Amino acid sequence: MKSLISKVYILTISIIFISCFSKQVPVDSDYKKDCFNQLDIAVDNCKNCSVDSIDYCINKYLDLDTIKDIDAKIWRDYAHAKGLYDHWSFDKSKEFVNQLIGATEDPSLLLERAKVLQLRGQISNINNELLAAAEDYYKSADIYQQLGLIKEVSACYLDITNIQFKAGNYQLAIENGRQTGAFTKATKNRTHADSVRLINAYNTVGLAFQERNQLDSAIKYFEFSDILAKDVKEEFWMGLINGNISKILQKQGRLHEALEKVTIDLKISFKYKEIESAATSLLSAGNIYSSLNKPLKARLYYDSAYNLIQKLNSKIIWSVYYKTMAKYSRTHRKFKEADEYFQRYITLRDSLHSINAEKSLEKIHNQNYIDRQLADINLLKIENSYKTKQVRLWQLCIGAIASVLILLFILYRNNKRHNEKLVGLNADLKAKVKFHTAELMKTNKELDTYLYRASHDVRRPILTIIGLVKISEFTNCPNEQSDIRQKITSTAQLMDKMLDKLKMTYGLRASVELQSFNFSQYLSDLVETMGKFYPSTQFQLQKSDNIWLSSDIRFVDMVFLNIVENACIFSNAHSSIHISFEEDEKFISVHIEDNGIGISEEYRYEIFEAYTRLSEKSVGSGIGLYIVSKALSKIGGSISFNSKVDEGSIFKIKLPRMYSGY
């Protein structure tokens, strides 16, 4: 009897231990991925068949019934949807895809769901539905990353990069392009297609830097792309990159070098019968010849581009053509023709470019980041729940075996420490969420204030212009009409300055990007520019040898444009503005002295606050010195001033030679 009890006891303990350590064997994800790749190849092989015979054609190349551990119906529907997409039947393809989205919610169908989301993103991208496309690509990229399919993650981020660039979100295009590069470099056994993906990503990053006028960074990424294109002998990409580099060389005034690059691009575009690329190259060549003062040759290239563009159905290339011709006509004093071209360009640009789309895409990007963080937290919760169940199971085992009581104590103590760490982590997380929520509320409040003020400030000159136009209808006197036109022009210029100040306020949120530039030359160019806008003002600039500054020129612009403009506006008749500077090893101090109306001592601490207007001469929104203060804080500078009423002011700006704030 005791022997039987012992056997039953041992059997019970064995069953408990087997249940403790047994695990379900998962489906081999690599096997499933390889089968899906075979399915994609089968669909590609059927591109030339008729739409009605897609399913029959695919079945010839791959019998889905022979693949184990899959839902054959879902795979067939996916193959059919992809076949319709390849045959340009996008609406029908999307109907199948939307049904598959609902059918792939089971966790065991993650790969299928990622493939379906990626296909829907491609359809939305073709239909120019950028928001929907970006959202699906982000979701599919997250699933691929969860499955460890790095190559597929890289492909999704490349599509996201190009969408963000197309929408004008250049900073997000740069971030996602770098992500594409990182995932592509992490790909094992990199293929020719992976190299082309990397070339594409770096080329788009270069274009995004070019749009942000960060030409050195743009050149760097174009050179990376060119090296890769030469390594894998991608002649088409070599031509395209040469064309992009030529545009930067044009901006830098290196016209003959630019002409060599664009000629290479033009030859390769015609070789591969890329009509849109060839048209773009012809427009670039025309711009170069126009800059070289060869208008007849420039016009020849523009006309050739026009003949090619007529064969295309692309609003984007038409908008580039109209903008180019507007500039060319204006240069050659054909103002009526220039205005016609410019109006066509504005119409097309507004239909292609949507600020709401930019903001929504940025929101999707940020939401995707938050979703990934929440997914990580949920995964930790699931793992914690699983560990808790394991502990309970071990408690059952320990209850059956008295000799393992000490192990139960150790597990209990470790679990308690783990819980204490989780409590601490949760507290830290709550504190961070509270802090970021407060920052977000503050930012939103400032934005509301800006929008409210901007709407009123911009409305005032608009109403003035409308009133002047109505007045002009009641007079036929040439002198009065000329006076009205001058007032309309000055009011429009005032409104343009207001909008420029608001744009600067938005730009204060950007991160600092260093570049070295000749500061003495910068001041000389600034004085020359301001002299054109304020011809009655005499500028005296201290002459010096080359002084170099390493800072962010965008914020430096915000500082000196606003300070010098204020000196011009608030100066008396026959005003004179003197600009001098001192320097040492670490700092450059610039003194800007005017003989204007001065600032009362009681307003010393108010002038750097937003929307402060202390004089009847104030014509703007009152945010100029506020922008100066904020911009200086971004680049590690400072400002002080001395002033006497009716005698003038001296503003002293102190800048670090080398910004080291990050």
Burial status of residue 115 (CB atoms within 10 A of its CB: 0-12, 13-18, 19 or more): buried
Q: Are strands 548-551 and 638-644 parallel, antiparallel or unpaired?
A: unpaired
* Residue 156 confidence (pLDDT) above 90: yes
Can you read off the two tokens belonging to residue 539? 């500028």
* pLDDT for residue 601: 79
pLDDT tops 60 at residue 539: yes
**Lowest mean pLDDT: which of 191-200, 425-434, 579-588, 597-606?**
425-434
Encoded tokens for 73: 């119906």
pLDDT (mean) for 143-165: 90
How many other CB atoms are found less than 10 A from the CB of residue 313? 8
How is residue 545 annotated by DSSP? S
pLDDT tens-digit readout, 383-402: 444 445 455 655 666 776 76
Strand pairing partners for 641?
651
* pLDDT at 382 (0 to 100): 40
515-656 belongs to CATH 3.40.50.1000: no
The pLDDT confidence band at residue 103, using thresholds 50, 70 and 90, is: confident
Tell me the sheet residues that pair with 549.
517
Q: What count of other Cβ atoms lies within 10 Å of the Cβ of residue 105? A: 8
Look at residue 465 and tell me whether its pLDDT is greater than 70: yes
Q: Are strands 576-583 and 587-594 parallel, antiparallel or unpaired?
A: antiparallel
Give Cβ neighbours of residue 604 (< 8 Å, ≥ 6 apart): none
The residue behind tokens 């026959």 is: 574
Q: For 596, which DSSP code?
A: B
- Residue 433: burial class (beta carbons within 10 Å; 0-12, 13-18, 19+): exposed
Closest to 504 (Cα-Cα) out of 554, 441, 456, 560: 554
Secondary structure in 3-state letters for 124-167: HHHCCCHHHHHHHHHHHHHHHHHHCCHHHHHHHHHHHHHHHHHC
Higher-confidence position of 301 and 618: 301
Half-sphere exposure of 157 (CA within 13 A, CB side): 30
Classified as helix, coil or strand, 293 is coil
525 and 564 Cβ atoms separated by less than 8 Å: no
Please give the Cα distance from 560 to 548 (Å, whole number).
Answer: 16
The mean per-residue pLDDT over the stretch 471-475 comes to 72
Please determine, for residue 67, whether its predicted confidence score (pLDDT) is greater than 70: yes
Structure confidence at residue 157 (pLDDT) = 93
Distance CA 224, CA 534 (A): 45
In sequence order, what are the beta bridge partners of 60? none
Helix (H) or strand (E) holding 517: strand 515-518
Q: Can you name the residues that pair with 583 across neighbouring β-strands?
A: 588
pLDDT classification of 376: cutoffs 50, 70, 90: very low
Which of 50, 40, 45 has the alpha carbon at shortest distance from 82?
A: 40
- Burial tier of 211 (Cβ tally within 10 Å: 0-12, 13-18, 19+): middle
**CA atoms of 345 and 589, how far apart (whole Å):** 44
Whole-number pLDDT of residue 240: 87
For the chain, give the number of residues: 662
| Lowest-confidence region among 93-97, 151-155, 483-487, 521-525 | 483-487
Q: Tokens in use for 61?
A: 């190349």
Say if residues 58 and 72 touch (Cβ distance below 8 Å): no
Q: Is residue 652's pLDDT more than 90?
A: yes
Supply 495's token pair.
């409104």
Give the sign of the dihedral formed by CA 210, CA 214, CA 216, CA 218: negative
Whether the predicted pLDDT of 332 surpasses 70: yes
Q: Give the separation between CA 577 and CA 567, rounded to whole angstroms.
A: 7
Distance between CA atoms of residues 217 and 195, nearest Å: 21
Handedness of CA 334, 335, 336, 340 (dihedral sign): positive
**What is the spatial distance between Cα 570 and Cα 453, in angstroms, rounded to a whole number?**
23
Residues in contact with 297: Cβ distance below 8 Å, sequence separation at least 6, in sequence order: 289
Long-range contacts of 95-98 (CB under 8 A, 24+ apart): 97/123
- DSSP, residue by residue, 569-584: HTB-TT-EEEEEEEE-
Mean pLDDT computed over 140-167: 90
In contact, 142 and 108? CB cutoff 8 Å: no
Find the mean pLDDT for residues 242-246.
88
Exposure on the CB side of residue 350, measured as CA atoms within 13 A: 6
The mean pLDDT of 591-595, rounded to a whole number, is 91
Beta bridge partners of 588: 583, 655
Contact yes or no for 512/661 (Cβ under 8 A):
yes
Domain boundaries, the chain: 254-312, 401-507, 515-656
Question: Rounded CA gap, 123 and 85, in Å?
Answer: 7
**Does 314 score more than 60 pLDDT?**
yes
Predicted confidence at residue 202, as pLDDT, reads: 92
Write down the pLDDT at residue 390. Answer: 53
Give the per-residue pLDDT at 174: 93
Q: Is 60 exceeded by the pLDDT of residue 16?
A: no
Give the span between the Cα atoms of 584 and 655, in whole angstroms: 11
What's the CA gap between 317 and 472, in Å, rounded? 40
Whether the Cβ atoms of residue 589 and residue 581 lie closer than 8 Å to each other: yes
pTM assigned to the model: 0.49
What whole-number distance in Å separates Cα of residue 356 and Cα of residue 347? 17
The band of 656, judged by pLDDT with boundaries at 50, 70 and 90, is very high
Q: Give the position of tokens 């050659």.
A: 332
| pLDDT for residue 461 is more than 80 | no
Look over the chain and give the mean of its residue pLDDT values, rounded to a whole number: 79
549 neighbors 542 (Cβ within 8 angstroms)? no
515 falls in which pLDDT band (50, 70, 90)? confident
Which of the 8 DSSP states describes residue 468? Answer: H
> Average pLDDT of 62-79?
83
